[in-house]
Chains A and B, each alone.
Chain A
Amino acid sequence: MKARLISGSLVLAAIAAGTFAEAPRANPPLVIGGYQVLAGDFHVHMHPLSWAALTPWDTVLETRRQRLDVVAMAGQNNVWTGKVARWFSRRIGGPTVLVSQEVHTPRYHMIAAGIESTIDWRRTAAQAIDEIHQQGGVAIAAHPTIEYWPGWDDAAMRTLDAAEIVHPLIYSQPERYPQLQEFYRRKKLTAIGSSDYHGLGYPGVCRTYVFARENSEQGILEALRAGRTAVYDREGRAYGDPELIRLASETGSLPRPEAPPATTMLGLFSRIAGALGLLGLILVGFK
């Protein structure tokens, strides 16, 4: 009984500490070359149906916490979770949400950003891109590593808008980076950095800076179609519109620091006390 009380108290103390562990961070607007520079993540998943941990509303809150201005909320072969996220974000004044789908097929994966109706995963890449364009969206090749190249035939490449060039897998599997670079160089594609977020860590760990005329869904899609993006890897290599990258380099304003808030003492206490409390509850709870 005493052990259970201590364990429960530890969990409650961890939750209390977690409540005050972080202060909100400011997200000052940035203008370069007359464009609003928006930090975006164009590959974010939500629970359910997409192997993700967080609900659409929690994902919106996390993207705001990571100072993202725009996010493509991509359900795997569905758009309704993205619509829930957009509805929630509009109500709280959160990031601009592009309702999106990861068209998840055996041959290729593609982000259909800014669509309203689900696209059938049985389509070829070229057919899917046509449908995305008919809906006013933008087609982004998702982590186009070598095993997906057969799915990206000439017909698809002719109309593809963008490709992920910076993605967490270039750090977890560095041998894949040249594959993304080779794909990106196939033709003039809009450069995209995406986190492929499923709930581990934080969204925006890889991100895209969009140079938009306005922070709206249409404004962002227009910028993506026009190729006005800049993407940076951890070594500082830049991809995207050379003129905009040069301008950003001159002002020294990009890339912005992306790291999540440093762990505070309260946060560390919350983590340790929470883990100990949960361990205690599990172990004494089953006696």
Chain B
Amino acid sequence: MLTRGHLAPGLIASGVIAWSFVPLAEIAGLAVVLHTRNRTVSFSQAVDLFFAGHAPWLLWMVAFSMYWASVSSVQPRVVIWIWEFSMVLIAIWSGYIDFYFFRHVTGARKPGLLLFVQRAVSWALFFVIVGGGALWPGLLEQLRIG
């Protein structure tokens, strides 16, 4: 929808395959956190529960796609900033949901640590695959080093 403004079967099929690493990276992060922990549910049930907490991201993505499908792709910088800011809010909301997921599923006294490890694993995989070509020079550029 971002590209054509409507649902195109070819792009959907290809996109599903090309981006299937995202849920896999999330599950990898979850496996790292949960494999040594006592938990109240099986791993597959934990995966189901974990992805149930993704509603904020999915709703954001539908809104994002609808917006960009309806306007010119060249928008003022402030529009980009608004979307970036909304993404930060969604990340916080999603973190809040997952914090309680880890608390209830593992009974951990420090669910924040589990959340951090899960995010570190899955987001690191995401960033390397999606933007790995220029991740390091891009970081140096942002930090004004080099």
Query: A residues touching B (Cβ–Cβ < 8 Å)?
Result: 11, 14-15, 17-19, 21-22, 47-51, 53-55, 57-58, 61-62, 75-78, 102, 104-107, 121, 168, 171-173, 199-202, 205, 260, 263, 266-268, 270-271, 274-275, 278-279, 282-283, 286
Chain B nearest CB: distance from A252 CB in Å?
25
In the bound complex, residues from chain B placing their C-beta under 8 Å from that of A172 are 74-77, 80
Q: For residue B18, which residue of chain A has the nearest CB?
A: A55
Q: Are B131 and A51 in contact (CB under 8 A)?
A: yes
Chain B nearest CB: distance from A197 CB in Å?
9
Q: A50-B133, A105-B137, A279-B62 are in contact. Are A18 and B74 (CB under 8 A)?
A: no
Q: Are B1 and A121 in contact (CB under 8 A)?
A: no
Q: Are A271 and B14 in contact (CB under 8 A)?
A: no
| Contact residues of B between 53 and 80, Cβ < 8 Å to A | 55, 58-59, 62, 65-66, 68-70, 72-77, 80
* Residue of A57, A168, A274, A278 touching B14 (CB-CB under 8 A): A57
Q: Are A271 and B66 in contact (CB under 8 A)?
A: yes
Chain A nearest CB: distance from B97 CB in Å?
11
* Residue of A14, A51, A106 touching B146 (CB-CB under 8 A): A106
* Max chain B C-beta neighbours (<10 A), residue from A62, A75, A106, A173: A106
Q: Are B77 and A173 in contact (CB under 8 A)?
A: yes
Q: A49-B131, A201-B68, A279-B59 are in contact. Are A267 and B77 (CB under 8 A)?
A: no
- CA of A172 to CA of B137 in the docked complex: distance in angstroms? 24
In the bound complex, residues from chain B placing their C-beta under 8 Å from that of A168 are 73-74
In the bound complex, residues from chain B placing their C-beta under 8 Å from that of A274 are 1, 6-7
Q: Are A267 and B5 in contact (CB under 8 A)?
A: yes
Q: Are A14 and B133 in contact (CB under 8 A)?
A: no
* Residue of A47, A51, A102, A271 touching B6 (CB-CB under 8 A): A271
6 nearest interchain CB pairs? Answer: A201-B73, A76-B133, A270-B6, A106-B146, A104-B134, A49-B133
Q: For residue A269, which residue of chain B has the nearest CB?
A: B6
* Max chain A C-beta neighbours (<10 A), residue from B5, B7, B66, B80: B7
* Max chain A C-beta neighbours (<10 A), residue from B3, B129, B141, B145: B3
* Max chain A C-beta neighbours (<10 A), residue from B62, B76, B80, B140: B62
Q: For residue A277, which residue of chain B has the nearest CB?
A: B7
Chain B nearest CB: distance from A148 CB in Å?
9
In the bound complex, residues from chain A placing their C-beta under 8 Å from that of B74 are 168, 171-172, 201, 205
